[in-house]
């Protein structure tokens, strides 16, 4: 984490936050701007995330061991050969179906404290796991829904603003589904589920996804 750090002044952080927010609003596919926004606006929220992780042995172990999720640390071929319905297989299928690579997450650059930098790096690297285990697609509707779950649990301004402004971009049909099903479900899940950033997913690859949901107090979204 230390090798990626770029020192910035308060003024520079302000410029970065305004600029990255403006560009992200215009083009929500600019992952680099969204990542930058999360770093320069997330100070207190990242400290909160760290404290939440320390509340459980599992979360504390993550902070001690600082595991990374990428193609060098996770064998996706092995995960893809695991039994259907396991956390590992669900994750591998999600990554393959959506043509996503675990190496796409940018390194944290603007956070001086290496422990806090890791917390945000971990958030980025488990984002796809949250998508996968909640069975939420990578469409705009799915992304907005996950942003609400993450925003409620992490308090990151980037997630909360993403949920609000992302919803404004939904087409009328998707907005109706969002208001009727997805948003209420996201709020319920964000409030009721165990703290997902403190889950050591790598130790749970062989866990049955239904058992995982029960343990995490997650109810799958079922549209009537």
What is the tally of structural domains in the chain? 1
pLDDT of 97 strictly over 80: yes
Q: How many CB atoms lie within 10 A of CB 9?
A: 8
**Is residue 138 in a domain?**
yes
The per-residue pLDDT for 158 is 83
**Is residue 136 in a domain?**
yes
**Is residue 224 in a domain?**
no
Give, in order, the Cα–Cα distances in Å from 131 to each of 44, 94, 104, 196, 216: 25, 8, 15, 11, 14
The per-residue pLDDT for 20 is 54
Q: Are 154 and 197 contacting, i.e. CB atoms less than 8 angstroms apart?
A: yes
Q: Which residues are annotated as a binding site?
A: 127-128, 131, 143
The per-residue pLDDT for 165 is 82
pLDDT of 6 strictly over 90: no
Report d(CA 75, CA 202) in Å as an integer.
11
Query: DSSP string of 155-222?
Result: --HHHHHHHHHHHHTS-HHHHHHIIIIIHHHHHHHHHHS--GGG--GGG-TTSBHHHHHHHHT-----
**Is residue 223 in a domain?**
no
**Is residue 221 in a domain?**
no
**Is residue 208 in a domain?**
yes
Give the pLDDT band (50/70/90) at residue 37.
low
Model confidence pLDDT, tens digit, residues 120-144: 999 999 999 999 999 999 999 999 9
Q: What is the domain range of residue 137? A: 2-216
Top pLDDT among 173 and 7 is at 173
Q: Are 149 and 37 contacting, i.e. CB atoms less than 8 angstroms apart?
A: no
Q: Which residues are annotated as a binding site for Zn(2+)?
A: 127-128, 131, 143
The per-residue pLDDT for 162 is 84
Model confidence pLDDT, tens digit, residues 193-222: 999 999 999 999 999 999 999 999 999 998
**Is residue 183 in a domain?**
yes
């Amino acid at each position: 984490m230390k090798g990626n750090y770029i020192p910035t002044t308060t003024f520079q952080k302000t410029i970065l936050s305004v600029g990255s927010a403006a560009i992200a609003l215009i083009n929500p596919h600019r992952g680099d701007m969204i990542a930058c926004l999360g770093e320069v606006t997330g100070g207190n929220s990242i400290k909160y995330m760290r404290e939440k992780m320390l509340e459980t042995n599992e979360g504390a172990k993550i902070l001690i061991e600082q595991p990374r999720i990428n193609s060098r640390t996770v064998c996706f071929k092995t995960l893809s050969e695991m039994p259907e319905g396991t956390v590992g297989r669900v994750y591998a299928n999600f990554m393959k179906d959506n043509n996503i690579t675990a190496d796409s997450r940018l390194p944290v650059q603007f956070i001086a404290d290496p422990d806090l930098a890791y917390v945000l790096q971990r958030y980025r690297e488990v984002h796809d796991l949250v998508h996968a285990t909640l069975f939420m697609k990578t469409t705009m509707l799915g992304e907005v829904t996950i942003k609400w779950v993450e925003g409620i649990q992490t308090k990151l301004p980037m997630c909360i603003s993403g949920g609000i402004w992302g919803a404004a971009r939904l087409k009328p049909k998707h907005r109706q589904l969002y208001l009727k099903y997805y948003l209420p479900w996201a709020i319920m899940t964000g409030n009721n589920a165990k703290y997902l950033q403190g889950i050591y997913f790598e130790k749970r690859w062989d866990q049955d996804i239904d058992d995982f949901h029960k343990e995490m107090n997650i109810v799958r979204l079922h549209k009537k």
